[in-house]
Amino acid sequence: MENQEDITGELRRLLTDLVAIPTAYPPGDTTEMATHLVSFFEALSFNVSTHEYEKGMVNVVARMGSESPQLALNIHVDTVGPGDLELWQHPPHTATLKDGLIYGLGAANCKGSGAIHLYLAKKIAERGGPGKGEVVFTFVTDEESLGPNGMSMLRDKGVIKPDMLLLGAPTDNQLIVSERGVLWVEITTGGQPAHAGEPQQGDNAVMRMMRIVTHLERELNSRLQNREAEGMHSTMSVGKIKGGHNTNVVPSHCTIEIDRRLLPNEKVEDAFREIVEIVKECGEPEKWVQLKKIRGTNGFLGNLNGPLETALCDAVEECTGSKAGYTTAIGVSDGRYFSGDGIEIVNFGPGIGSEGHASNESISLDSLVESAHITINAFERLIGFKDK
């Protein structure tokens, strides 16, 4: 096991550097972060490339070794915004240690895991490279927006073709091997504008949307309440609404966006068709109602007892003296883009998921150190180092 004092100090330094660089979405600009990471990996003699599919959204890929198996490690470095700064007890872009916790925007989601992956990269370089195959570190953006310009594009462009994918995530050092899919749907209603003093002369698009939402919530939620698997639930939530342009005008336009989380055995296209059918049943004139799929990806079921999972479970037991635990994700990870590729996908990392997206986001220093020990141990079991 790595020296405790050395690893603690190094992880703090690495995390401090990551937290100090703003990467909030919107806009998800990672130009400065990419410069920092490229310099870090080039100093370790990794083969480094950057991939920018949308201006400012820069992804960094660092690789060492060759041939198979290819183990890809992933971190999303974009964060949500800090929100109301008055709610923060410490500056969001300063990694502040207090009472065993490191505070900072992205500390848990997912720059803590980022520090661990950087520490692992240093160990790989110091020990001559991977013992077999190729190890590829990916530090990406566009995850918080569920957008296509990060890990999704790296896959689609063939930049990475992993046999195993380890995603750093705030799992409290437990394993996530199954994940829900996600679907975002936009519904737009139209109507006839009129003066609010004579609303009967118009056709209110907001009222039409209210009828659709009421119908959708009643009909869809009654179906979803019985859809459950492996501790995961099928859900629907209305996340955004916008309508009208002035209080004294009957609105002619209204738009909502829906977040639909899918069980691994549910498919995006089927879920979209289900929403379309339920909205049609509402009886509103079709010319005044439009539905559009914004984006969506299927979930995945874990490859139990695969080599990556086995290595992590054995490492957890050796480093902690306890059996590995499993948990389920509230959100979704970039692993979903590989759900149909037949590869092993595991989310693992320090921190608690509920800390992400919250004011005064923090991560336990002990959790960070423990996760680093486990990750290095698992890597040695799975890939090994060239000097052995």
CATH number, domain of 376, equals: 3.40.630.10
CA dist 346 and 167 (Å) reads 6
Average the pLDDT over each of 185-199, 205-219, 240-254, 343-357 and give the range with the smallest value: 343-357
36 burial class (0-12, 13-18, 19+ CB within 10 angstroms)?
Answer: middle
| pLDDT at 374 (0 to 100) | 98
pLDDT at residue 388 tops 70: no
**Domain check: are 280 and 210 in the same one?**
yes
Same domain, 159 and 86: yes
**388 in any annotated domain:** no
CB contact set of 149 (below 8 Å; sequence gap of 6+):
53, 54, 57, 59, 141, 142
pTM for the full predicted model = 0.91
Q: Are 27 and 10 in contact (CB under 8 A)?
A: no
CA 162 to chain centre: 18
Of the three residues 296, 315, 347, the one that is the final residue of a domain is: 296
Total domain count, the chain: 2
User: Of 296, 325, 355, which residue constitutes the final position of a domain?
Assistant: 296
- CATH number for 265: 3.30.70.360
Indicate if 341 and 251 belong to the same structural domain.
Answer: no
Residue 311 belongs to a domain? yes
Asked whether residue 124 is assigned to any structural domain, the reply reads yes
Phi, then psi, of 3 in degrees rounded to 5: -60, 125
Question: Same domain, yes or no, for 46 and 148?
Answer: yes
pLDDT digits (tens, 9 = 90+) for 43-97: 999 999 999 999 999 999 999 999 999 999 999 999 999 999 999 999 999 999 9
Q: Is residue 259 part of a domain?
A: yes
pLDDT single digits (tens) 111-170: 999 999 999 999 999 999 999 999 999 999 999 988 999 999 999 999 999 999 999 999
Q: Are residues 213 and 226 in the same domain?
A: yes
Residues 335 and 291 in one domain: no
Q: What pLDDT does residue 2 have?
A: 55
The span from the CA of 314 to the CA of 327, in Å, is 17
Looking at the domain assignment, is residue 328 inside a domain? yes
The predicted structure's pLDDT at residue 376: 97
Residue 266 and residue 194 in one domain: yes
DSSP state of 353: G
Q: Are residues 73 and 30 in the same domain?
A: yes
* Among 296, 318, 334, residue at a domain's last position: 296
Same domain, 63 and 172: yes
pLDDT, average across residues 356-374: 94
Are 190 and 287 in the same domain?
yes
Q: Does one domain contain both 204 and 231?
A: yes
Is 355 domain-assigned? yes
**Is the pLDDT assigned to residue 41 strictly greater than 80?**
yes
Q: Report the pLDDT averaged over residues 228-246.
A: 94
User: Do residues 329 and 150 lie in contact, with contact meaning Cβ atoms separated by under 8 Å?
Assistant: no
Q: Which domain holds residue 221?
A: 183-296
- pLDDT top residue among 32 and 358: 32
Letter string b/e over residues 316-350, b meaning 16 or more CB atoms within 10 A of that residue's CB:
beebeeeebebebbebbbbbbbbbeeebbbbbbbb
Cα distance between residue 135 and residue 160, in whole Å: 10
Same domain for 76 and 19: yes
In-domain check, residue 292: yes
Opening angle at CA 184, ends 178 and 188, nearest 5: 165
Q: Across residues 175-204, what is the average pLDDT?
A: 96
Structure tokens at 267: 């498919």
Q: Do the domain assignments include residue 387? A: no
